[in-house]
Chains A and B, each alone.
Chain A
C-alpha cells in the first residue's frame, strides 16, 4: 500500500526550515527518501532501517518511528539546491519492492 506524504507542496525562502512527513497504514520495515529535480532521475538521500532511528546528511535529517509507522524528513536552513520533489518509499518485508508516495514538492526561493 502506498505511503501517504504531507504536505503536498512547500514554498520556502532560503534559510527556512521544512518538515516532510510520510506515514503508512501497514507495518514499515524500512523508509527510503529520494529527491527528484524536474526532468531528472530520483537521487537517493537516505534509508532508515530501525524504529526510532535518525540519520543526517548535511542539513537534511530524518527520523523513523516504527510504532507510529511514520517517518519525517527535516530540511534545515534550506538552500536553493534543495528545490525538487521529495519521495518517501517503503519496502516490503522481503526487500524486493519499494513503494513510493506521491511526493512533496519543495520550492526554495532567494
Chain B
C-alpha cells in the first residue's frame, strides 16, 4: 500500500507568515509523530498522537507550533509567525502500534523561512 505522504514537499515562507504542513499517514496507523530535522542533525521529536489524542507535545519549541489530528488520520502541523530558525525539514512518521515502535517516515517538507 501507499506509504506516508507529506505536502507540500517544499515551502518557502517570509518571516512572520503562517504555514501549514500536512501529513497523510499509512491507512490504519494509530500512532503519528512529527519531527524537525535541521541540516546535518538527527530528527528532533516534536509531538505524538495516538489516534486523535495528542499525548505528548513536549518537543514543540514554542507556542507558535501547533499540531492537530482531528479524525485520527491526517495531521497538520501549523507554525505561526515563522522565524528563520524554523527553517528545517519537517518529518512525519506513523506506526501501526501504540508508542514509539517501528515508525514509517514520510519524505518530509523542507521549510525555508526568508
A-to-B contact residues, CB < 8 Å: 2, 30, 32, 40-44, 47, 87, 89, 91-92, 94-103
Contacts and interface: CB of A to CB of B under 8 A. Distances in A.
Nearest to A105: B40
Contacts of B45: 97-100
A44 B48 contact: no
Contacts of A102: 41-42
A42 B56 contact: no
Contacts of B56: 94, 96-97
B61 interface: no
Given A41-B105, A95-B101, A96-B55, 13 more contacts: A32-B100, A41-B4, A41-B91, A42-B43, A42-B91, A91-B100, A94-B55, A95-B98, A97-B48, A97-B58, A97-B100, A98-B100, A98-B103
A103 B99 contact: no
Q: Which 4 A-B pairs have the closest CB atoms?
A: A95-B99, A100-B42, A96-B56, A41-B105
Chain B contact residues: helix, strand, loop or mixed: loop
B107 interface: yes
Interface residues of B, number: 27
B43 A100 contact: yes
B25 interface: no
Contact of A41 (B42, B55, B98, B107): B107
Contacts of B100: 30, 32, 89, 91-92, 95-98
B48 A96 contact: yes
